[in-house]
Amino acid sequence: MAAGSRVFEGSNLSMSDQTPSSTQIKPNEQRPEHPDFWCKRFGDGTTPWDAGKVPAAFADFIARQPAPCNMLIPGCGSAWEAGFLAEHGWPVTALDFSPLAVNAAREVLGDAPVDLVCDDFFTFIPRRPTQLIYERAFLCALPRKLWADWGRRVAELLPGGGLLAGYFFLCEQPKGPPFGIQPEQLDELLAANFERIEDAAVDDSIPVFLGKERWQVWRRR
Ligand SMILES: C[S@@+](CC[C@H](N)C(=O)[O-])C[C@H]1O[C@@H](n2cnc3c(N)ncnc32)[C@H](O)[C@@H]1O
């Protein structure tokens, strides 16, 4: 194993397996902005971010909504939440650019009525208007250079009053994924177009996010 590399298995909770180097051109499977990075991990069965369940604050949030509306789950991975939403009569689009992630989602979803799409969040054309975007382990999967694009894209996809709801990995963790974001950096990405209307501690985090994630809801202005 090369010096500086880390094995992505067992007790290692990182989603990455190599120390970044600015002098090397990395292969696609070491670049989280590329689907091959995620295909490798789904293919190896190394998915420490996968909760294998629907997180509690999300289920509670859905129960509090007055009526189902069009939900988008970008970077859906295994898409546990999409199955839950479909069961509760919500129209849901689950999107991932890794074909192996989409295969994993298909296994989890069975014949649940979910619009499961293999495409890139930054360029896909939605088949229906989005009213709610669910965030879990997607922003923290993106290299920092894509964060501003993420902020612009969520604002572009949501109409006034639309909601961005989910879990945010708030910490100083420059090596990733998962890449930590500081609260003030998240504000910088969202505050121009969104108002934060919920912010709560999370008590059912899986180890990779333990003590470092918060449940938040942001309303599009
Ligand atoms: C850390 S995983 C999280 C999966 C899921 N949200 C969960 O909570 O289990 C990040 C996912 O985002 C997907 N992804 C990363 N960049 C993407 C992009 N630009 N468009 C669509 N999916 C993307 C990856 O393929 C991967 O499945």
* Ligand 1 close to Cβ of residue 179 (< 6 A): no
Task: Give per-residue pLDDT as tens, 21-50.
Answer: 556 689 999 999 999 999 999 999 999 999
Out of 44, 138, 215, mutate this one to test ligand 1's pocket (max ligand atoms within 8 Å of CB): namely 138
- How far away, in angstroms, is 2 Cα from ligand 1 center? 27
- Work out which ligand 1 atom sits closest to the CA atom of 101: 27
The predicted-structure confidence for 88-134, as pLDDT tens digits, reads as follows: 999 999 999 999 999 999 999 999 999 999 999 999 999 999 999 99
Are β-strands 194-201 and 132-135 bridged in parallel, bridged antiparallel, or unpaired? Answer: unpaired
Atom 11 of ligand 1, nearest CA residue: 75
| pTM score | 0.92
- Evaluate whether 170 touches 213 at the Cβ level (below 8 Å): yes
Question: 46 CA to middle of ligand 1, Å?
Answer: 14
How far apart are the CA of 105 and the centre of ligand 1, in A? 11
Q: Does the Cβ of 108 fall within 6 Å of ligand 1?
A: no
For all residues of the chain together, what is the average pLDDT? 92
Atom of ligand 1 nearest to the CA of 37: 25
**126 and 72 Cβ atoms separated by less than 8 Å:** yes
Pick the CATH number of 56-220 from 3.30.200.20, 3.40.50.150, 3.20.20.150, 3.40.50.300: 3.40.50.150
> Is 49 touching ligand 1 by the criterion CB < 6 Å?
yes
How remote is the CA of residue 149 from the centroid of ligand 1, in Å? 15
For helices 80-87 and 56-64, give the axis angle rounded to 10 degrees: 30
Strand-pair category, 71-74 with 213-220: unpaired
Give distance in angstroms: CA of 76 to centre of ligand 1. Answer: 6
Which band of pLDDT confidence, cut at 50, 70 and 90, is reported for residue 181?
very high
Who wins on pLDDT, 17 or 97? 97
Q: How remote is the CA of residue 141 from the centroid of ligand 1, in Å?
A: 7
Q: Tell me the chain's radius of gyration from C-alpha atoms.
A: 17
| CA dihedral (169, 6, 80, 152) positive or negative | positive
* Centroid of ligand 1 to alpha carbon of 74 (angstroms): 7
